[in-house]
Amino acid sequence: MTAPGPGQDPRPARPERSRRALFAGSVGNLIEWYEFGVYGYFATVIAARFFTPEGGGEAEGLVKTYASFALAFFFRPVGAALFGRLGDRIGRRPVLILVIVLMTVATTLIGALPTYDTVGALAPWLLTFLRVLQGLSAGGEFGGAVSVMTEFAPPGRRGLYGSWQSFTVALGLLGGAGVAALLASVLSAGELESWGWRLPFLLTLPLGLGALWLRLRLEETPAFQREREKEREREKEGERGQRGGAGEEQEGAGEEREGVGGSVRPPGREVAWAVALGAGRVMGWAGAGYTFLVVLPSYLQSSLNATFHQALLATVPANLGFAVTIVPAGRLSDRVGRRPVMLTGALSVTVLALPLLNLLQNTGTSNTAKGVAVFAAGAVVGLMAGPGPAMLSEMFPTSVRYTGLGLAYALSNAVFSGCAGLIITETILRTGSVDIPAYYAAATCAVSALALLTLRKPGEEQGS
């Protein structure tokens, strides 16, 4: 029997503790992606209310809106490093409580912000400030939540448990799309642009309070508790070594130079390499996911002349396809390994992105065929998202897991998700090519596939 890794409790957690960790860990991610989805779906409305003064162009306002979108993502790595270090030092539970409070407050306040017509140039700065706070909290959310979920997971089920973190991405985006589509159906265009866009952001407050209640009931993970016990033992041994002579001191120092898979804090260069490799492995998930699931509505409106309502309806099957495949993909990765499942998703996007987009561009394509196309696009992204959290968790030991996997995910999302809307919109404006979203998704997944070729089976990765 294989010995459990640093992230796996040798004594299986009680089922109720595992389920509690699953819900408490994933609920924050649901809120985070609900808000980011809402911001993306209402990008054209937000551009008009905050970034387009009288006389400004629609395309200019949309680019500025996506620039603010990207800025929040670039603060994710800062949040991952800041909160991750705290989480690896003082525990997962207190830090996850802190980030859910910060995220809820920042998102709710967006719904109460004055617009450009009210406070002038101050409006976009206030919005950007709250987006920065969201970026910081989101950066601290993923690493802690995945650490909790995988460290509480029963043996051999880390892929399944970790996949729920990705599944809540789909639920959040679907929730955002559903609320946006509902408002677009029941409100007039004038009502939606005047005050209706605020409602989805204000809805975050009750959601956040529910998430806070779940996290207050969360226990600290067994893996982190064991790590703290080991650190105390090493500190005691170090004190004895100082009293016993230089020889024992040298021996203790040697232990600190163990690799990323060891039980003590690994060298910074090994952690940095693991972070870079992890970011590359989830690059396709980040780039293709945001292209197909969030940027699509604005692309359909600005490039293919779809109405706001039509664009939102097109996003629903994409997110449904994404949601349907995530948990089965995570469970399958526990059986056959992370690499074959994630590679299948990355290579599928690389090959199919352009044909799928061409179906949407063709005015002769039926609505049913378009729905199937966007459903398939979401489904293949789900093949990468399902095993992704467990894969990242297995790359790092308990002592740096919160920081390491959070940074890998945040860096990849900062560059390839946060910039997706900005890059795609700006490149289309400059080149006139409406195929840019497909090229972007395919390119990120091709690079991700190369990084995934280095992926080994669970138990063989450095930190698993």
Contact 337, 458 (CB under 8 A): yes
CATH superfamily of 15-452: MFS general substrate transporter like domains (1.20.1250.20)
Per-residue pLDDT in tens (0 to 9) along the chain, 464 residues = 333 444 444 445 566 788 888 888 888 888 888 887 787 777 778 877 887 655 555 565 666 666 766 677 789 899 999 999 999 999 999 999 999 999 999 999 999 999 888 888 888 888 889 989 988 998 899 999 999 999 998 888 999 999 999 898 788 878 887 888 888 889 888 888 889 889 999 999 999 999 999 999 988 988 888 888 887 887 777 666 665 554 444 333 333 333 344 445 566 788 999 999 999 999 999 999 888 887 777 777 767 777 767 776 777 888 889 999 999 999 999 999 999 999 999 999 999 999 988 888 888 878 788 888 889 999 999 999 999 999 999 999 988 999 999 999 999 988 888 778 778 888 888 998 889 999 999 999 999 999 999 987 655 455 55
**Burial of 387 (C-beta count, 10 Å sphere; 0-12/13-18/19+):** buried
Instruction: Name the 3-class secondary structure at 415.
Output: helix
Q: What is the pTM of this model?
A: 0.79
| Alpha carbons 47 and 112: distance in angstroms, whole number | 16
Give the helix ranges, DSSP H, for 42-121.
Answer: 43-46, 58-74, 76-90, 92-110, 116-119
Tell me which amino acid residue 69 is. F
Query: Residue 329 and residue 345: Cα distance in Å, rounded?
Result: 10
Spell out the domain ranges in the chain. 15-452
Residues in the chain: 464
Residue 214 CB contacts under 8 Å (≥ 6 apart), including other chains: 20, 23, 24, 27
**425 CB neighbour count, 10 Å cutoff:** 24
**Spatial distance between the Cα atoms of 229 and 218, rounded to a whole number of angstroms:** 20
Q: How far apart are CA 124 and CA 99, in angstroms?
A: 24
Q: What is the dihedral of CA 398, 403, 409, 410, to 10 degrees?
A: 170
